[in-house]
Structure 1
Amino acid sequence: MKSPRRTALIVIIMLLVVGIVGGFFAHHQLAKNRHHERIVATTYAVVQIADRLKLPLVGVPNTENKLPARYKNVTKVGSPMNPSAEKIASVKPTAVYSVTTLKEQFGKSFKQQHIKPYFLNLQSVSDLQRVVTKMGNQYDRKAAARGANREIDHAILKARKRANGQKKPRVLVLMGLPGAGYMIATNRSYVGNLVQLAGGKNVFASKDQEYIQPSDEAIQKARPQVILRLEHAMPQMVTEQFNSEFKSQSFWHQTPAVKSKRVYDLQEPDFDATANMHAAKALGEVSQWLYPRGK
């Protein structure tokens, strides 16, 4: 007859073996599930995040931007503003990602195809970092996510040092709209957030609005010292619109920014309406524009 002590030892060993084997199979199953992830990115910003985390994609947006080599032959699912529910459904996705600012673009056709997109909040640099961390955890890319966020943290620290002890410049941010003029981007917009991180003062602040209607009188009164012109869609057309606007409207000539030639054009891929993986580089550029004689 076996002693109680020996019996207990045998039971413990068996439990350990079962635990190890169970853990192995659980890990194997998790890895298998991740291997079968079929992810669709409907915006270029999401494509950038996926590329940085080395995630496989089965669907990417139609874009004029150069797609990473790993996604060269991936199915195009339409423009970010008007993605095709039929094309997305055809690749049998397990996850479809867009951004919160385009949520209204996903209408009835997606419900009919039984597609429920995930909308990522990329309205600020900190929002971007939270998304990168979350996706890194979800898809077992934690090391890559930490590396990406460290680059951004370093850029923020560098921008703060550059602005330290200096008087904040007054900054006006404009977002050009192809064929429809422009809007004013407030501190709640992504570029407005870059201005804030770089140590500038956005002359148009808001509690909840990213963009507001322009007012010639308000712009004149604000007397911006730096003007940033975002040309994220059809940049050539928007640049021509801005140049024509600044030439034909005499009030622009009276702004300190135009007088001192501190008007800068922001274009993709470094700049966009939403935060992206070029955030560190974009912040560095804005920092230098705001503080050309920085520390």
Structure 2
Amino acid sequence: MSKKQLTGLSILFIILVILAGGWVWLVTQKDGHTASSPTKRIIVTTNAQAQVFDKLTIPLVGVPTPGEQQTLPKRYATLPQVGNHVAPNLEKMSSLKPDVVYLDSALVDDYQQKLASDHIATQTLDFSTLDALKSSINTVGDQYNKQTEAKQLVKQLTIKPVKLASRPKVALLMGMPGGSFLIGTQHSYVGDLITKAGGDVIGAGDSAYTNLNAEQIASENPDVIITMAHAMPDNVFKSFDALFAQNNWQAINAVKNGHVYQAKEPIFGMTANLNAPKAFDQLKTWLGN
């Protein structure tokens, strides 16, 4: 084979290598966009989610409408608000044309049917307990290539459970507008924190909240009562004050000894959030630890 032919073959080989490399790059970019690249148009639906995405520096196109005692991160302060689980603005969500809407696993029913009918993709995050929150942070970090930020955030949420030989009995009451209430179990976010803080939460069952009447609570005779509000906190806490003034409640150790406390937002919440270490420290104080 002549020198000229060898030169021609070498040039052809180089061209083929370049073309093949370009094809591999194109396929990689395409696959990366559909499988591993961060989604660009994201909506979150709870304030706790917004706080997490802010710490992971992930851009959003829509955020929840904050509650009375809540504030949005500065990064998202001017973004369109899409309501909350009490009054979700599903039409606003659709108008923002999101690639994905993040829902809290406990609030899926408030959103999913409508969003599915509009062909909007959803993903659930479990913030039911502190451990679940930390797991969800790592999940989001993996999805958006924010593993380092996620690891740092999870480290900040690490708490050291209190171990006591004698644990005070605690009643966690979740008040509703209108005067009714539920009992939070150890499977609720705050109930789980109470357990970690050294308390023994009354109320059995596998669910986060259960029904327990005043007679049953009196028979348990808790040492500490912690109250929360599902909505309309001013009205709910006033209702609790009136309730505890009744004779049957006055005989309970927690009321008799003045160990009744109000767990208010933003430190406390229905689901786990980034204020968990502050909530944990407050619970330890209330429990005398």
Band the TM-score falls in, shorter-chain normalisation: 0.7 to 0.9
Which residue, out of 228, 236, 239, partners 2:237? Answer: 239
TM-score where L is the length of structure 2: 0.85
Structure 2 partner of 1:4: none
Tell me the matched-pair count.
272
Task: Determine the C-alpha separation between the residues in 2 that align with 1:85 and 1:113.
Answer: 10
Instruction: Tell me which amino acid in the other structure corresponds to 1:254.
Output: A
Structure-to-structure mapping, 1:1-295, within 5 angstroms: 22=25, 26=29, 34=37, 37-64=40-67, 65-106=70-111, 108-153=113-158, 155=159, 157=160, 160=161, 163-206=162-205, 208-247=206-245, 249-290=246-287, 292=288, 294=289
Indicate if the aligned counterparts of 1:171 and 1:200 stay in contact, CA closer than 8 A: yes
Q: Which has the higher helix share?
A: 1
Identity %: 33
**Structure 1 gap segments, 5+ residues each:** 2-6
The structure-2 alpha-carbon separation of the partners of 1:106 and 1:250, relative to structure 1 and needing over 3 Å to count, comes to same
- Partner secondary structure for residue 62 of structure 2: strand
1:84: how far off? Answer: 2.3
Task: Determine the C-alpha separation between the residues in 2 that align with 1:130 and 1:36.
Answer: 20
Which has the higher Rg, Structure 1 or Structure 2?
A: 2
Instruction: Tell me which amino acid in the other structure corresponds to 1:228.
Output: I
The structure-2 alpha-carbon separation of the partners of 1:196 and 1:165, relative to structure 1 and needing over 3 Å to count, comes to closer
1:112: how far off? Answer: 2.7
User: Runs (4+) of structure 1 moved beyond 6 Å?
Assistant: none
1:166: how far off? Answer: 4.1
TM-score where L is the length of structure 1: 0.83
Instruction: Tell me which amino acid in the other structure corresponds to 2:177.
Output: P
1:201: how far off? Answer: 0.6
**Alpha carbon RMSD of aligned pairs, Å?**
2.8
